[in-house]
């Protein structure tokens, strides 16, 4: 069972936010947030997610994998797998490799909607599983669904395929996504 009051309080305190500031960021009143945090009123799941996401540091371009997946698909539609890695996956990794476990938990909690591009869906799931593994957390159930893609290489030419085969983290390799260690160890 989800303990919404504890989650809200823990995330608010971890973010060093007052109830008033968190309420402002989440688009609600301080009085309403107080009622949620004290357990007098139960927030809906979407309201809880909005409040928890509002506690994340504002520097993040994509606070969650659910927000990231459509951006990956958009880069792929524009024909740039390199941009899909560099400008979406890479930025997400930059933000989340050193994030707290609580932030990572929020970032991967919501399953992204299917993008219509199996590569984007597979990369989103791989990123969720990878950041969870780095934080010693189990990946979310949605990230465990098998997604098959044609082998996909994020390397500068076929000369680096062998290196990517050796170095790809399991969360990427099992989905047919091959990267070098340097691509994922960005921070």
For the chain, percent of residues with pLDDT exceeding 70: 96
Domain spans, the chain? 4-54, 65-184
136 conformational bin, left if phi > 0, alpha if psi -120 to 50, beta if neither:
left
Q: What is the pLDDT of residue 187?
A: 41
CATH number for 4-54: choose from 1.10.260.40, 3.30.9.10, 1.10.3720.10, 1.20.140.10: 1.10.260.40
CA distance 115 to 74: 9
Q: What's the first-to-final CA gap in the chain, in angstroms? A: 35
67-83 pLDDT, tens digit per residue, is 999 999 999 999 878 87
Q: What is the pLDDT of residue 122?
A: 94
Tell me the whole-structure pTM to 2 decimals.
0.69
> In this predicted model, which residue has the larger pLDDT, 105 or 148?
105
For the chain, percent of residues with pLDDT exceeding 90: 47
Is residue 26 pLDDT above 70, yes or no? yes
Write down the mean pLDDT value for the chain: 88
């Amino acid at each position: 069972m989800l303990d919404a009051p504890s989650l809200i309080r823990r995330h608010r305190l971890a973010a060093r936010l007052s109830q008033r500031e968190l309420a402002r960021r989440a688009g609600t009143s301080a009085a309403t947030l107080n009622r949620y945090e004290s357990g007098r009123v139960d927030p809906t799941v979407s309201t809880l997610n909005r409040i928890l996401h509002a506690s994340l540091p504002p520097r993040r371009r994509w606070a969650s994998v659910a927000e990231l997946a459509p951006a990956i698909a958009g880069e792929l539609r524009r024909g740039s797998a390199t941009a899909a890695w560099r400008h979406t996956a890479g930025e997400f990794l930059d933000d989340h490799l050193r994030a707290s476990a609580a932030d990572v938990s929020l970032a991967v909690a919501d399953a992204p909607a299917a993008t219509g591009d199996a590569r984007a869906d597979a990369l989103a799931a791989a990123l969720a599983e990878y950041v969870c593994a780095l934080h010693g957390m189990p990946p979310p159930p949605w990230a465990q669904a098998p997604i098959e893609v044609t082998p996909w290489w994020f390397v500068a030419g076929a000369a680096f395929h062998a290196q990517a085969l050796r170095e790809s983290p399991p969360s990427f390799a099992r989905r047919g996504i091959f990267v070098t260690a340097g691509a994922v160890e960005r921070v």
